[in-house]
Structure 1
């Protein structure tokens, strides 16, 4: 397997992101592939926030939420999927599959022995992340869910199809420009931080693949797992949940999230952010604060 590793200097001086990098390269089944993660770990933390980014982002997406979660005394862990951020990047597009990503994250959680986890998800962080708790033996106790879905082989509408075709026609997708359009309040330097992991097109196989993997047709890989996940959230889940929705998301906005809210057992009415789009974390401070107050972590 040909694998690329983004040079460390690509991550120098990113605005608002001074976190020390952490790496692990001995995950079972992924030996030699280095996974990057942020790990803010206050002494005596009894709770862990596990924050999962999606397409085409990385741990930088959570920079507005990490300090809020950490201020509650919790540990905050933000891993990058293989192919993204500071993690290694297999060059062959075909390496990337639903199971490739999912099994890596299950191994990651087990390897770090994360307990009493508040799972924080959005986009592919949710498509994958919402399938994890049912196989983590009670490690996940709470959920914060933002614009995402649990696809089971049904279409997600014209907006998603347009996005899928957009990425397919742009093998060197400009992640900085995409983020600037989706989040107009970003500075140029912040937008460029989303392009930093990708020195050239060869590094973007993971970015190209994610839209193609979303299960919008019967028979696609992962559907059996996501169907099992839907049943888990509807019938088995007993933890607390908090939902926030970026209302300007044209694909995974209020209508999709309203259906997801009905799927998640005991999920209260969502916090709707009228000005936020798909990448809710870029409006993340009030979301993080509201969730901590909802859970009773702060007054």
Structure 2
């Protein structure tokens, strides 16, 4: 496996991202970056990003949650952000992402985790919580789901999947902007483009859409079905805060509320915004996390 590493200078002077970088090796020669803010003794809040973003997505949410007394950890998934980037699309699989994330959690010894997840952060985080429920105390999902390949997939996702695999043009910041209701600044767009100085660096971002299970016989389908069996027994708090403007995940919140016992009686919320609600409603999203952690 050939591994690429984005030069640190590309991340200089990012707007609203003053966080000190931390790194852990999650496989031989493969380094994962993460933000780690707040007291090491405080209750950990794990914020998982999705496609094609990185921990920068949570920059406006990290400070208020830390100020409320929690430890916030926001890793960059392998292939994204400041984390290392295997150079071939074939280097990435659903299971490899699970293994890398599990190695990171184990190395840090995280327990009593509040999971905050969106997009691919949900595909990884929900399954992680289902497979290791003893490590997690509550789950907060925004615009995310755990697909098994047994559900009807929206046409817009099939188009997106084909674009990611075949388009010679894969503009990261434009993709984030399409999923965001407000207009990103030039500096913010540059921050989303920063991890990807060449097309080779984008292999992980191109891989993610085709790793989503869309058929019942997908390599990840069996494990995700097993995760749903566990989630259907999940009685710890499970909170949804989807946005009102995401055509891909619309309705997923109500689906999970029906199937997961821990969702009963929780203060589920619909926020205004697009797919990236961390960009459109960061203060409201952060408040939901803080309130959930305090109850």
Same fold? TM cut 0.5: yes
Q: SS state of the match for residue 270, structure 2? A: strand
Does 2:259 match 1:249? no
The residue aligned with 2:35 is: 38
> Which string of whole-angstrom CA distances, capped at 9 and with x for unpartnered residues, describes residues 223-252 of structure 1?
1111111111112x1211221111110111
Q: For 1:202 and 1:43, how far apart are their aligned partners in 2?
A: 36
Does 2:224 match 1:226? yes
Q: Name which of 201, 209, 212 aligns with 2:210.
A: 212
Q: SS state of the match for residue 36, structure 1? A: strand
Q: Is the 8 A contact 2:114 2:293 kept in 1?
A: no
Q: For 1:294 and 1:213, how far apart are their aligned partners in 2?
A: 31
Q: For 1:2 and 1:63, how far apart are their aligned partners in 2?
A: 30
The residue aligned with 1:97 is: 93
User: Displacement of 1:269 after TM fit?
Assistant: 5.4
> Which string of whole-angstrom CA distances, capped at 9 and with x for unpartnered residues, describes residues 9-53 of structure 1?
01111111110100012x3xx1210100000132631x1001111
The residue aligned with 1:16 is: 16
Q: SS state of the match for residue 72, structure 2? A: strand
Q: Is the 8 A contact 1:106 1:136 kept in 2?
A: no
Instruction: List alignment gaps of at least 5 residues for structure 1.
Output: none
Q: For 1:120 and 1:199, how far apart are their aligned partners in 2?
A: 29
Please say which of residues 146-155 and 167-176 is displaced more in the overlay: 167-176
Q: SS state of the match for residue 144, structure 1? A: strand
Q: For 1:43 and 1:182, how far apart are their aligned partners in 2?
A: 34
Does 2:180 match 1:175? no
The residue aligned with 1:296 is: 294
Q: For 2:259 and 2:144, how far apart are their aligned partners in 1?
A: 13
Q: Is the 8 A contact 1:122 1:147 kept in 2?
A: yes
Distance 1:50 1:148, change over 3 A: same
Q: Is the 8 A contact 1:22 1:36 kept in 2?
A: yes
Q: For 2:294 and 2:71, how far apart are their aligned partners in 1?
A: 16
Q: SS state of the match for residue 148, structure 1? A: coil
The residue aligned with 1:121 is: 117
The residue aligned with 2:102 is: 106
Q: TM-score, normalised by structure 1?
A: 0.93
> Which string of whole-angstrom CA distances, capped at 9 and with x for unpartnered residues, describes residues 264-295 of structure 1?
2221352101x311111112211111332244
Q: SS state of the match for residue 119, structure 1? A: strand
Q: TM-score, normalised by structure 2?
A: 0.94
For these two proteins, the number of residue pairs brought into alignment is: 290
Does 2:194 match 1:196? yes
Distance 1:270 1:185, change over 3 A: farther
Q: Is the 8 A contact 1:48 1:76 kept in 2?
A: yes
Provide the aligned C-alpha RMSD in A: 1.5
Q: Name which of 152, 168, 174 aligns with 2:148.
A: 152
Stretches of 4+ aligned residues off by more than 6 angstroms: none
> Which string of whole-angstrom CA distances, capped at 9 and with x for unpartnered residues, describes residues 181-201 of structure 1?
322332121122111100010
